């Protein structure tokens, strides 16, 4: 088993405050002035939603932050969020031409600065259409996909209502990504902008249970969008997985988010001061869970991964942060069982190896280590609640909703559309937004055709 210990690091902030404080106005304008304003901007080609990057940077360099914000708003409904959590290093920033000459432009931080400055100074004010007469659309799920569809359609004068099962809208942005990476007030601010665009939010409505797709159509909606993400965590079928102290990462992060916003008692958080915590999995969710456990006072946090360091799915930057903060990694290691009577007290790990045919194999070499909490971060899949309560919506064998190209995003049931993680498997905020933008266009096209047919009396 290869063990990777904490790297050298200068300053480690283990509070829940946002770590990255963003640019000051002076820094932002200096950075914007470095941009070459390329005629063929590679940065834009690297942005999944084709943000007009050189244009908003130029406006910022000229000191016109309102104009910069208005340019961003043409493509994105969530700039303050994207500026913080998008993997810019793999997208726009990696394409910046200035990387060849030294250092590329920090596009994400500029986007964040513009969005924050605009919101704090209230420079631009989104306005609702005087009449929302293009059609009535129900959006199920208030994560990045649902919010994008809602924002895009509201801007086109649709009457949009967003239904979400949780107490407040935002999806993973509120209940998944921890505060130290994304301050929840930033998400709430983006939601308020949507309300000003005329979007109505109905929280604590579990569609499929409290109301069905059929009932929504009976209420007069012309189209329905499903953006319900991947709510069901995958299970690890090994002995001991039902012991107290073995929890899912999505549950753990949601409870911490609720406790941090004062909605539940911190006593409900399943990690306590001094706990020895093991995280199973090495994706972004695992890194967030590990870093959160450290902030709760765990005496040791170890990420367990069946493969080597080069084969993690987490962003390199997230992994580096976790390691720098003190998370330990056990590479080529797999949990064989969790031990304890009612409560977990130990974890048995088995070493893995790569055989001659390049296959990952268990070696039989095992080691037992004391453990107080185990957090499973091995993936998620969609829940079936909506599909099973509504006829005609087909899913693939793994439960992902099947959609078509024309009108873009329509499911096998007419008038019902879907997008985001519930269609494309867990990905990123901006990929959910990219697809959702195309689905919003598909919904607009569908509703327009539907209205035309109704008007013609066909």
Of these partners, ligand FAD, ligand SF4, none, which one is at the site of residue 288 (CB under 5 to 8 Å by kind)?
ligand FAD
- When CB distances are held under 5 to 8 angstroms depending on the partner's kind, the choice from ligand FAD, ligand SF4, none that residue 31 binds is none
Work out whether 160 is an interface residue with ligand FAD (CB under 6 A): no
Q: Which of 84, 85, 205, 198 is nearest to 142 (CA)?
A: 205
Quote the CA–CA distance of 367 and 364 in Å, as a whole number.
10
Determine which residue in the list 98, 264, 315, 445 makes contact with ligand SF4, applying CB under 6 A. 98
Q: In terms of CB distance, is 36 or 449 closer to ligand SF4?
A: 36
The reply to whether 243 sits near ligand SF4 by the rule CB under 6 A is no
Task: Verify binding: residue 353, ligand SF4, rule CB under 6 A.
Answer: no
Q: Which stretch binds ligand FAD (CB under 6 A): 170-178, 344-352, 356-364, 368-376?
A: 170-178
Residue 54, contacted partner among ligand FAD, ligand SF4, none, CB below 5-8 A by kind: ligand SF4
Closest to 338 in 3D by CA, of 282, 273, 277: 277
- Shortest reach from residue 44's CB to ligand SF4, in Å: 7
Among residues 229, 233, 270, 407, which is the contact residue for ligand FAD, using CB under 6 A? 229
Stretch that binds ligand FAD, among 12-20, 23-31, 135-143, 321-329 (CB under 6 A): 135-143
From the list ligand FAD, ligand SF4, none, which binds 348 (C-beta under 5 to 8 Å, kind-based)?
none
Nearest CA among 201, 128, 179, 402 for reference residue 296: 179
What is the biggest distance separating any 2 CA atoms in the chain, rounded to whole angstroms? Answer: 74
- 314 touches ligand FAD (CB under 6 A): no
108 near 63, Cβ under 8 Å?
Answer: no
CA distance 38 to 355: 49
Binding site for ligand SF4 (CB under 6 A): 35-38, 41-43, 53-54, 57, 96-98, 105, 107
Binding site for ligand FAD (CB under 6 A): 85-86, 140-146, 163-166, 171-172, 176-177, 206-208, 227-229, 231, 253, 284-285, 288, 385-386, 420-422, 426-430, 432
């Amino acid at each position: 088993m290869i063990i990777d210990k904490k790297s050298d690091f200068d300053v480690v902030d283990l509070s829940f405050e946002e770590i990255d404080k963003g640019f000051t106005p002076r820094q932002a304008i200096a950075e914007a002035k470095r941009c070459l304003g390329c005629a063929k901007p590679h940065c834009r080609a690297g942005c999944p939603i084709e943000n007009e990057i050189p244009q908003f940077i130029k406006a910022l360099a000229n000191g016109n932050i309102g104009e910069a914000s208005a340019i961003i708003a043409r493509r994105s409904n969530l700039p303050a969020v994207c500026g913080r959590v998008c993997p810019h290093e793999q997208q726009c920033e990696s394409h910046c031409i200035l990387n060849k000459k030294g250092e590329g432009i920090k596009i994400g931080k500029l986007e964040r600065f513009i969005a924050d400055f605009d919101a704090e100074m209230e420079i631009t004010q989104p306005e609702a259409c005087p009449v929302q007469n293009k059609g009535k659309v129900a959006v199920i799920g208030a994560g990045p996909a649902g919010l994008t569809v809602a924002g895009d359609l509201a801007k086109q004068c649709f009457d949009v209502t967003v239904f979400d099962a949780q107490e407040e809208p935002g999806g993973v942005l509120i209940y998944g990504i921890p505060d130290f990476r994304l301050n929840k007030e930033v998400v709430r601010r983006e939601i308020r902008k949507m309300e000003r665009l005329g979007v109505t939010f109905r929280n604590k409505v579990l569609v499929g249970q409290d109301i069905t797709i059929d009932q929504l159509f009976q209420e007069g909606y012309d189209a329905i969008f499903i953006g319900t993400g991947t709510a069901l965590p995958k299970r690890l079928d090994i002995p001991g997985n039902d012991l107290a102290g073995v929890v899912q990462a999505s549950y753990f992060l949601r409870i911490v988010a609720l406790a941090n916003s004062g909605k539940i008692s911190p006593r409900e958080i399943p990690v306590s001061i001094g706990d020895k915590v093991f995280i199973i999995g090495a994706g972004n969710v695992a890194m967030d869970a590990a870093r959160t456990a450290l902030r709760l006072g765990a005496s040791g946090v170890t990420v367990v991964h069946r493969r080597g360091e080069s084969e993690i799915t987490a962003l390199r930057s997230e992994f580096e942060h976790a390691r720098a903060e003190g998370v330990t990694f056990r590479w080529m290691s797999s949990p064989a069982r969790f031990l304890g009577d009612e409560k977990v007290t130990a974890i048995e790990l088995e070493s893995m190896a790569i055989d001659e045919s390049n296959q990952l194999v268990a070696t039989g070499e095992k080691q037992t280590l004391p453990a107080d909490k185990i957090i499973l971060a091995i993936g998620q899949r969609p829940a079936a609640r909506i599909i099973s309560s509504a006829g005609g919506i087909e899913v693939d064998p793994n439960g992902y909703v099947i959609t078509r190209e024309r009108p873009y995003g329509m499911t096998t049931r007419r008038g019902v559309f879907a997008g985001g993680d519930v269609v494309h498997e867990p990905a990123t905020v901006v990929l959910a937004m990219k697809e959702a933008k195309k689905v919003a266009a598909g919904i607009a096209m569908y509703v327009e055709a539907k209205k035309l047919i109704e008007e013609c009396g066909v």
